[in-house]
Amino acid sequence: MPGKRWAAPVLLALSLPLLAPVSALTQPAAASTRAASDVPLEEINATTTQVAFGLRRPTAIAAPDDGTNRLFITEKRGTIRVYHPDTGLEQTPIIDITASVDESGNERGLLGIALSPDFATSQDLYLAYTALPDGAVTLARYRLDDARLEPLLSQAHSEHSNHNGGQITFGTDGNLYMSIGDGGGAGDPFDTGQRLDTLLGKILRVDVSRSCGALAYCIPRDNPFAGVAGARGEIWMYGGRNPWRFSVDPANGSMWIGDVGQGRWEEINHLPTGRQAGANLGWSCYEGLEVFDQTQCRSDATYTKPVFTYSPHTGGCAVIGGQVYRGKQYADLVGGTYIATDYCYSTVWALRQNASGGYTAAELGQTPTQVTAFGVTPAGELYVVNDLPGSLHRVSFERAKPTCHIKYTTRTWGTGMTVDLTITNTGTAPINGWTARFPLARGQSVISDWNTNLTQSGDMVIAANADHNGSIAPGGSVTMGYLASHTGDASLPSRITLNRDTCAVTR
């Protein structure tokens, strides 16, 4: 499971000082395939439609490319249910490995599923789960034709029940990739993120099409630590905290990783094929862009910079990594756009590479509460499952003109800045009571404000209307502003929502 935080880890994270970075973080090079859609993200809404209910804590989705239009949905207890758009959700599981699964605690259980590239003929699929009796994170092959479970790889994980990872997927190279969390607890207590002698805190890459010696799989020769003394050859990337959900873009082989944070930052990493092998995602030296544990930092290390971070002060608690949309139905809107969400805040995050090689981010709406995973059909269409109450939802997109527009007026000097925001209602209905939310750049802190009731928590500003300007008629505007200090970065908010609707912005 994604790892809804305990109170203690959050308090621990918030009590840590912000330390100076020990070395520059590298920005991954842009992937070769550009976004197919040029519709501005603020003009796109994401919606979901419930198509099935009655699932018991679903954790992952897989879609066989065998012409059946089925979806396989894993349940935490160790069962897999089949959904078909014509006949609905089957009550009897197609697979039941509950006798092998340790589902104790909130985050243990059957966690991931990947279908063999030749599933239509072999009927082989792969499962990630925490195994009885001690919660070891396990990768196994399941032969559907004779209901046979074959454990292939196991990583001990007995001390804590959280941070198991459990995402598995096949890459465009035919190898299987798997994530395992850092061993749980809080603050990387075993310092596993930066160690190479353990599979904890890693993304693995193995060849499951054959066996090698005593291994039930093979370690690809071009794995970055294959044959390196003292290192596990299965490691593809390291420095993960709990990379609960990652995906491979079938168009270019790039990998998108949602890594659940400690309490300050949720992060998304994007690595093209040439920058994946041996990449260091930073934990527990870094959490997001901030140093978390100075003792885990090395001056000779190169850390991969996340392409997007957000603060749990939005109301979020655990990033749920998603998929790049490569379907046909909504290609004109979100083709080539990465879609993710958060377990608690339910925001639909959209990330798109821009012409300068950076990334544009926006909120496209909300998913149902407590989404645990995305799934993609062979045709490229998206589904999500949510933990409680346990439902399956189809994801859709529509174009809609933004209902708000923001124009900034700013003045900067030394270590100070003033920002005025003119908020215009571009919709057709009056706005009676408004709340604007936006992140500040690192190092900015609000000193005072006007025409609003403003609070700052971490990087997030929540600005509600004052008594005299709570109503905005269609076409009407109100102005609010703030005085802030900065430590060198006087940039303006990169995104802003009004009552959780994304606004168009003029700088």
pLDDT digits (tens, 9 = 90+) for 192-211: 999 999 999 999 999 999 99
The beta strands (E) that lie in 325-415 are given as 338-342, 347-353, 359-366, 371-376, 382-386, 391-399, 404-413
Start-to-end C-alpha separation, the chain: 40
Q: What is the largest CA-CA distance in the chain?
A: 75
What single-letter DSSP state applies at residue 212? Answer: B
Q: How far is Cα 166 from Cα 136, in angstroms, rounded to an integer?
A: 11
% of the chain beyond a pLDDT of 90: 90
pLDDT band at 15 (very low <50, low <70, confident <90, very high): very low
pLDDT at residue 19 greater than cutoff 60: no
Q: CB neighbours of 406 closer than 8 A, spacing ≥ 6?
A: 421, 422, 423, 424, 496, 503, 504, 505, 506
**CB burial of residue 106 (10 Å; 0-12, 13-18, 19+):** middle
CATH architecture label of 7-399: 6 Propeller (2.120)
pLDDT digits (tens, 9 = 90+) for 408-420: 999 999 999 999 9
pLDDT at residue 327 greater than cutoff 70: yes
pLDDT digits (tens, 9 = 90+) for 85-132: 999 999 999 999 999 999 999 999 999 999 999 999 999 999 999 999
Q: How far is Cα 44 from Cα 37, in angstroms, rounded to an integer?
A: 11
Q: How far is Cα 317 from Cα 315, in angstroms, rounded to an integer?
A: 7
**Which tokens go with 54?**
């009655």
pLDDT digits (tens, 9 = 90+) for 35-60: 468 999 999 999 999 999 999 999 99
Q: How far is Cα 391 from Cα 383, in angstroms, rounded to an integer?
A: 11
pLDDT at residue 168 greater than cutoff 50: yes
Q: How far is Cα 182 from Cα 269, in angstroms, rounded to an integer?
A: 17
Contact 352, 35 (CB under 8 A): yes
pTM: 0.93
Q: What per-residue confidence (pLDDT) applies to 36? A: 65
Contact 451, 481 (CB under 8 A): yes
Domain 7-399 matches domain 404-506 at the CATH topology level? no
pLDDT at residue 355 greater than cutoff 90: no
What string of DSSP letters covers 47-85?
EEEEEEE--SSEEEEE--SSSS--EEEEETTTEEEEEET
Cis peptide before 389 (omega within 30 of 0): yes
Q: CB neighbours of 240 closer than 8 A, spacing ≥ 6?
A: 165, 179, 181, 182, 193, 201, 202, 203, 257, 259, 281, 283
Torsion angle in degrees (nearest 10) through CA of 453, 457, 458, 459: -40
Report, as an integer, the average pLDDT of 461-469.
Answer: 97
Contact 425, 401 (CB under 8 A): no
Q: What is the domain partition of the chain in residue ranges? A: 7-399, 404-506
Q: What per-residue confidence (pLDDT) applies to 34? A: 43
Helix (H) or strand (E) holding 178: strand 176-180
Q: CB neighbours of 15 closer than 8 A, spacing ≥ 6?
A: none
Residue among 399, 438, 444 at smallest CA distance from 421: 438
Return the amino acid letter for 449. D
Per-residue H/E/C for 125-146 = EEEEEEECCCCEEEEEEEECCC
Q: CB neighbours of 221 closer than 8 A, spacing ≥ 6?
A: none
Per the listing, tokens 């009590």 go with 15
**Which tokens go with 387?**
């933990």
For residue 175, give Cα distances in angstroms to 114, 169, 207, 210, 219: 11, 9, 5, 11, 10
What pairs with residue 193 in β-bridges? none
- Three-class SS of residue 267? strand
For residue 191, give Cα distances in angstroms to 24, 243, 284: 21, 16, 7
Contact 385, 375 (CB under 8 A): yes
Query: Within 13 Å, how many C-alpha atoms sit on residue 321's CB side?
Result: 29
Q: Which long-range contacts (CB under 8 A, 24 or more apart) does 491-494 make?
A: 491/441, 492/408, 492/410, 492/419, 493/438, 493/439, 493/440, 493/461, 494/361, 494/439
- Three-class SS of residue 119? helix
Class of domain 404-506: mainly beta
Where is pLDDT greater, at 151 or 388? Answer: 151
**Which tokens go with 430?**
């009056």
Helix (H) or strand (E) holding 14: helix 7-15
